[in-house]
Copies of this chain bind each other. A is one copy, B any other.
């Protein structure tokens, strides 16, 4: 079967199996059922090793499937962290026992995963995290707080980055673990964002035990494991697998031109600007995709695309409200929701400042900032918010 046939077959399967959204049923149950079907059809873990439950195929098939899936909204949201980040990390860095235990249940939609890196005091500086894992007999005990955790309230397992040594510089005292999210010492509290929705959680760990078999990578080598995860996160965001296509975006040109006065030349020119910025970024993204297909990997240049998307998102919602005027901010106008959510893309997955640093350092090869935090023992380092 060549790639085109693969894509056609995938499309046919999706039309059969992904069409009915049955929105009245429980979304988690629906997700689990769909993942099981996906697994049975051979579309779960397309590029993952066969030995652990994947299909052992290449990026080409993965891309063909994504292309086929573009017109569908696959109900796999609760598995996005597992499939995009924690699963690939275990495949790359886990022990065989861990792969055996965790990968197949993930691919079959039996177990939901979340990722536990971010902390309120650390922010962009992930490695300055303060959650502690302390030796306790053969295992470990965890105490601390995590934040910005998607799907944690559904999760069975979490990939947890914790501090295991405060006497060494911050990057050198971290260890990665798999933690049981069903343990009673784990408290998941929904975190309301500025739009009033709760898409994230805060997690509190109160003497949560972890067996040493659930350690991923060496003790104090957790940062290198986290780098693997974050790499997968970035790939996953830029690929946007299974995410919506923004067809109903109230800030898009198609939507705005219907509700604004296009007889006003100034309004028309604003819409032209919107078109220009959209096309510029869309073509850049398409070029990156074509390059990837041709074997040129975008690497840190993907951070430029992410930065541009973040700025475009802010710009579009702002423009929409300015064009529509007073009506846009009352009575549940879709633009009202859009303007509330528009900062999200500039904050999640690295702030715009972090993206600019990455582009400057890794794409342009500029000299790094002098770092004050690379040699100081963690216990002597300033972190978080200092009154």
| A-to-B contact residues, CB < 8 Å | 264-266, 269, 370, 372
Contacts and interface: CB of A to CB of B under 8 A. Distances in A.
Contacts of A266: 265-266, 269
A370 to B, nearest CB: 6
Contacts of A265: 264-266
Nearest to A265: B265
A266 B272 CA distance: 12
Contacts of A370: 370, 372
A267 to B, nearest CB: 10
A265 B266 CA distance: 7
A22 B264 CA distance: 53
A36 B234 CA distance: 72
8 contacts: A264-B265, A265-B265, A265-B266, A266-B266, A266-B269, A269-B269, A370-B370, A370-B372
A266 B370 CA distance: 46
Contacts of A264: 265
A264 B265 CA distance: 9
A50 to B, nearest CB: 51
A287 to B, nearest CB: 28
A116 B51 CA distance: 74
The 6 closest A-B pairs by CB, nearest first: A265-B265, A266-B269, A370-B370, A265-B266, A370-B372, A266-B266
A386 to B, nearest CB: 11
A269 B265 CA distance: 10
Given A265-B266, A269-B269, A370-B370, 5 more contacts: A264-B265, A265-B265, A266-B266, A266-B269, A370-B372
A84 B131 CA distance: 59
Contacts of A269: 266, 269
A268 to B, nearest CB: 9
A269 B270 CA distance: 12
Report which residue of A264, A370, A372 has the largest number of chain B beta carbons within 10 angstroms of its beta carbon. Answer: A370
A372 B370 CA distance: 9
A375 to B, nearest CB: 13
Contacts of A372: 370
A131 B174 CA distance: 50
A95 to B, nearest CB: 41
Nearest to A369: B370
A331 to B, nearest CB: 30
Nearest to A264: B265
A83 to B, nearest CB: 41
Nearest to A272: B266
A269 B264 CA distance: 12
A118 to B, nearest CB: 24
A330 to B, nearest CB: 27
Nearest to A371: B370
A194 to B, nearest CB: 25
A55 B368 CA distance: 54
A264 B264 CA distance: 12
A296 B371 CA distance: 40
A96 B372 CA distance: 48
A353 B269 CA distance: 32
A370 B370 CA distance: 8
A326 B320 CA distance: 34
A264 B266 CA distance: 10
A265 B265 CA distance: 7
A102 B266 CA distance: 61
